[in-house]
Structure 1
Amino acid sequence: MRKNVTVALLLATFLAAIEGTVVSVATPVIASELNGAALVSWVFASYLLFTAVSTPIYGKVADLFGRKRVLLFGIGLFTVASLLCGLAGSMEQLIIFRALQGLGAGAVLPISMTIIGDLYKYEERGKIQGILSAVWGVSGVLGPVIGGFLVETLSWRYVFLLNVPFALLSFLMIVAFYKENVSETTERIDVKGALLFAGGTSAFLYALITFSETNVWTSPVIISGVASLLLLASFYVSERRAKTPLFPFALLKHPVIASINGAVFFAAWVLVSMSAYIPIWAQAVLGKTATEAGFMLMPLSVSWTVTSIIGGRTLGAASPRRRAVSGMSLLLFGTILLTSLTQASPDVFVYLAVALIGVGFGLSQPMFIVVLQTVVSYRERGTATAANSFLSTVGQTLGVAVFGAVFNFIVLSGFRTEEALRGVSLESFFNRAASTALETGVRLQGEQLIADGLNTVFAGAALAAFIALLIALRLPVHPPEPSRDN
């Protein structure tokens, strides 16, 4: 039973993991075809926003009422939303359907990791988490290549259909093989707290992302920001009084959990800078095709996979602090290298930087989740795992918003002020045929402006990596003692 369930969970992880790499490669083409370059960040942000909002709620429901039904619901919703994304007729429709995908993904990844924590003891989790990371790596390798091929030969719409067969197979295997004993409980989900949390988080992220698009304190931004403060303050008060709080704050204050969550939060900024902006660098600055842009992301997945598999087998004897510090240091070195890129830089510099970042994630991420699941009890594992996923997703969402604001401010301001670029659309640089049709001087000036914006984004990622490194220094030197019911 355990083997079959593990295979099903790996498939579920694969369908969610491949989504990010496939969409990243297709985004420039989607922006060009749907005339929505200014809304590009929303393609990522809507997905991440609704993943972030739903993840903690799913985690608490899974702890109270069982993992199986929550996971099946998430896989089903993710699959339907993927089909809708492939049928989208406008950028606005695509953003809405991506939000539905996010609602499904909010259950798939954290609940899959929670079930693995249930099935395996501490000594085995490192190996399984290494295999789980390998799935991320394989999807990262196949996603850009397959996605680029589909974009160039068929249509970007087909990239969303890749999820369907994996989702159906995973769904059926979980139904058939995963037998769960759910004990009766009189506890109930804190509906009031869940609604306040969902509303407050959504309003906050909406305000942030909207500001990143406009760079102006408009009425929607101000209203959403004030609403988020009021709702989240009410959520905090409600949680302090609730019998079954959505977020047990005492759990999140645990020194090991707090350090892991902090490092994961800032490392997520680095990850989103890679997935969202390396393809733009390749296509808009270097003039590469979607497939070639996908190959530039491949070292991230390959190095992450290899490092996770090797490191996972020795995780039980490893020092959490040493692994985390090594991983965050490599993230910092990789992002610093990216800030030095120019239009004339050899491609090998991009590959090297992305590979270093992949090794950093491979060293740290499996260790983070294994240690976190070890220091909590069975009844807290879903909540703790979901909270960690939530902070990672919020980190990515904030990264998309902040980096999007910086990139848009630099690039769009330049397009408005530079005389040679007036009347030239940013979308034209996302399409190889359109960019090569421009005058050489205009094209080079536009590419340089986009490169400046991207270098600034990578500098922001380097700062996030440095903060993650400082937080990693707080982790314990020795592996923690397992919880009594672990």
Structure 2
Amino acid sequence: MEKKTNVTLVTIAVFVATFMTAIEGTIVTTAMPTIVGSLHGIEIMNWVFSIYLLTNAMLTPIYGKLADKIGRRPIFILGTFLFIVGSALCGLSNTMLTLIISRGIQGMGAGAMMPVALTIIADLYTMEKRAKVLGLNSTAWGIASVVGPLAGGMIVDTIGWHWIFFINVPIGLILIGMIWYFLVEPKHQVEAKKMDIGGSFSLMMVLLTLLLAFQLLSDNGFSLLVLGLLALTVISFGLFLWAEKRAEDPVISLSLFHSPLFVVVNLVAALISGFLMGIDVYIPMWMQGVLGLNAGIGGLVLAPLSLLWMVGSFLASRWMSQYSIRKTLLLGLVITLIGAVWQFLIPMGSSWLWFFGISSIIGIGLGATTVTCTVSAQSSVPQEMLGVATSFNTLVRTIGQTIMVSVFGILLNTISANGLQQAKLTSDPDIMNKLVNPQTAKLLSADLLEPLRKILYDSLHGVFGAGLLLVVIAVVLTLLVKEKSGRIVE
């Protein structure tokens, strides 16, 4: 009797893998003050997060190609193994530099786990059921956002920060066992075509220089190094296109971009992911800096976004069975747009309770939009390109988040600096940092507090305006897709 895939257990394994990669960010953020106190090196602390993002993004499209070429199971197992090795080395780190290197290895593994997990879901479920399963899978991010800080704090306070990394090892080994035993794939005929080495390396250079440029731009503003990296990005991209046109088996086939639907849903995914970063980073800043509330409230008002994301995903699955992809995507984007407009127009003195409503609406809209983008990207390509299409969709979200975090930061700092210069309130260059920290804000004089809060409100208003513009552009792009053919209107 031929052995078949155990769909239930493989789906559970995919959910656990998603949760494991999702919680990594929130749990490490919580533990970072303790880690810095133990290992020192606060000046390079940001690289603990940045290197994970860089190695993750650089290898995501390569893993997608390999998943199509040799199968999902070996690539998922390879990624999980690298994630385990990186986690173990993180736990054993005794300097900040070794921790950063170990996080790079961990990111290399995570770059395979997430996109290949989504590809496995696409293999196991029909398009009608896939959206529901992706909706359930996305709840891992919501649970991680709530559980991560609590678990991180508890682990650090009891058995030590090393165990936030060590705990990944047994879970990862169980995942490898489950995928190895319960996922049965048809035998892949490994084609004799040469691997696209030139395209792979030039693509990795594009991603490395682009993400590194925006990371440095966010930290230090424009500099010769940033401009040099952006120039290298353009050159590397030209080399990538040249390599792909000549490759026998390109790492990302340029034929993918002949489908206008594929292009649009990925652009929308990038824009919406960038918008999400504005919500996650700057609503808590509003709670603390503008309203003077504690950090816990900032996390609390974002909870509906995570929880109602699943509701939006389920709605999208229903809409996709009734309407076209274009109409489903528009419905999700319009709901998101309502939340974005409300957020942009909310007055300075509004109660923090209103943000529950904003967060809820945006959560439903983003849940519906994100799942529709993933399913659309997968359904708009042939089965043999499913891994590449899924990994590319994951990649553009990372790029959208990275670029917009930098843009939002520059926008906030520029508006704040102009506001402080015009008001001439203080010469303290660190005054806005003191304002957004509830502990230090209490020490500011009353005659400074209100004007500073108005400056911060104006700055956040600018950030939310930029976020609103991203959603509007996404709506316009979607309107350019014809209802039946999926072609862009000429």
Interval of TM-score (by shorter of Structure 1 and Structure 2): 0.7 to 0.9
What residue in structure 2 maps to residue 471 of structure 1? 477
Q: Look up the match of 1:403.
A: 408
2:344–2:461 CA contact under 8 A, matched in 1: yes
Q: Which amino acid aligns with 2:382?
A: S
Partner of 2:215: 209
Give 1:231's aligned amino acid. Answer: S
Q: Which moved more, 1:50-59 or 1:163-172?
A: 163-172
Match of 2:73 in 1: 68
Alignment of 1:61-460 (within 5 A): 61-82=66-87, 99-143=104-148, 146=151, 166-180=171-185, 181-216=187-222, 218-313=223-318, 315-411=320-416, 418-420=424-426, 422=428, 424=430, 426-429=432-435, 431-460=437-466
**One-letter identity of the residue aligned with 2:468:** A
Assess if the C-alpha contact under 8 Å between 1:44 and 1:400 holds in 2.
Answer: no
Confirm or deny: 8 A CA contact 2:320 2:328 kept in the other structure. Answer: no
| In structure 2, C-alpha distance between the alignment counterparts of 1:409 and 1:65, rounded to whole Å | 49
Structure 1 residues 94 and 458: alpha-carbon distance in aligned structure 2, compared to 1, 3 A threshold:
farther
Q: Hey, what's the Cα distance between the residues in 1 that align with 2:442 and 2:380?
A: 56
* Letter aligned with residue 456 of structure 2: I
Contact 1:151 1:290 in 2 (8 A): no
| Cα distance, 1:311–1:73 mapped onto 2, change above 3 Å | same
Whole-angstrom CA distance in 2 between matches of 1:421 and 1:53: 42
- Distance change >3 Å, CA 428–CA 298, structure 1 → 2: same
Rounded Cα–Cα distance in structure 2 between residues aligned with 1:80 and 1:447: 46
Equivalent pairs counted in the alignment come to: 479
1:334 CA displacement: 1.6
Give the equivalent residue in structure 1 for 2:3: none
Contact 1:207/1:221 (<8 A) preserved: yes
* Contact map agreement 1:321 1:474 (CA 8 A) in 2: no
**Residues 393, 260 of structure 1: alpha-carbon distance in 2 compared, 3 angstrom cutoff:** same
Moved more, 198-207 or 32-41: 32-41
- Structure 2 vs 1, CA of residues 375 and 225 (structure 1 numbering), >3 Å: closer, same or farther? closer
350 and 425 in structure 1: CA distance in 2 versus 1, 3 angstrom threshold:
same
| The 10-residue stretch of structure 1 (440-449 or 124-133) with the greater mean CA deviation from structure 2 | 440-449
Aligned-pair CA distance for 1:460: 1.0
Amino acid at match of 1:194: S
CA distance in 2, matches of 1:89, 1:469: 49
Q: Does 1:462 align with 2:468?
A: yes
Which deviates the most, 466-475 or 413-422?
413-422
| Cα separation, partners in 2 of 1:467 and 1:377, compared to 1, 3 Å | same
**CA apart distance, 1:207:** 2.1
Q: Which runs of 5+ in 1 are unaligned?
A: 481-486
Aligned partner of 1:9 in structure 2 is 14
Query: How big is the alpha-carbon RMSD for the aligned residues of Structure 1 and Structure 2?
Result: 3.6
Q: Secondary structure at the match of 1:17?
A: helix
Give how far 1:209 is off: 2.9
Give the Cα separation in 1 of the matches to 2:149 and 2:231. 40
Residue type matched to 2:459 in 1?
G
What residue in structure 2 maps to residue 58 of structure 1? 63
- Whichever residue aligns with residue 461 of structure 2, its letter is N
Change (3 A) 1:230 1:297: same
Whether contact under 8 Å (1:342, 1:451) holds in the other structure is: no
**Structure with max Cα Rg:** 2
Aligned to 1:483: none
Query: Residue 308 of structure 2 contacts residue 360 of structure 2 at CA under 8 Å; is this kept in 1?
Result: yes
Whole-Å separation in 1 of the counterparts to 2:356 and 2:197: 47
Deviation at residue 29 of structure 1 after TM alignment = 9.7
What is the CA-CA distance between 1:35 and the residue it aligns to? 10
- Give 1:43 deviation, angstroms: 6.4
Measured in 2, the distance between the counterparts of 1:29 and 1:413 equals 35
Q: 2-side partners of 1:334 and 1:160: how far apart?
A: 37
Cα 1:25/1:69, change in 2 over 3 Å = same
CA distance in 1 between counterparts of 2:30 and 2:457 reads 18
Query: Where does the alignment leave 5 or more consecutive residues of structure 2 unmatched?
Result: 1-5
Q: Deviations over 1:169-210 (max 9, x none)?
A: 433322332233333321332112111111122112222332
Rate the CA distance shift 1:146–1:466 in 2: closer, same or farther, 3 A: farther
Cα deviation for residue 213 of structure 1 reads 2.6
Structure 1 counterpart of 2:444, one-letter code? L
Q: Which moved more, 1:463-472 or 1:87-96?
A: 87-96
How much identity, in percent, do the aligned residues show?
A: 33
SS at match of 1:347: coil
The answer (yes or no) to whether the contact 2:305–2:362 under 8 Å persists in 1 is yes
Q: 1:244, CA displacement in angstroms?
A: 0.9
Kept after mapping to 2: 8 A contact 1:329/1:469:
yes
> Can you list the C-alpha shifts for 1:137-192, whole angstroms capped at 9, x where unaligned?
33344345656777899998876677566544433322332233333321332112
Change beyond 3 A, Cα 1:62–1:85:
same
Partners of 1:24 and 1:279 within 8 A in 2: no
What's the TM-score once normalised by structure 2's chain length? 0.85
Q: Residues 82 and 348 from structure 1, CA distance in 2 versus in 1: closer, same or farther, beyond 3 angstroms?
A: farther
Normalising by structure 1, we get a TM-score of 0.85
Deviation of the 1:306 alpha carbon: 1.9
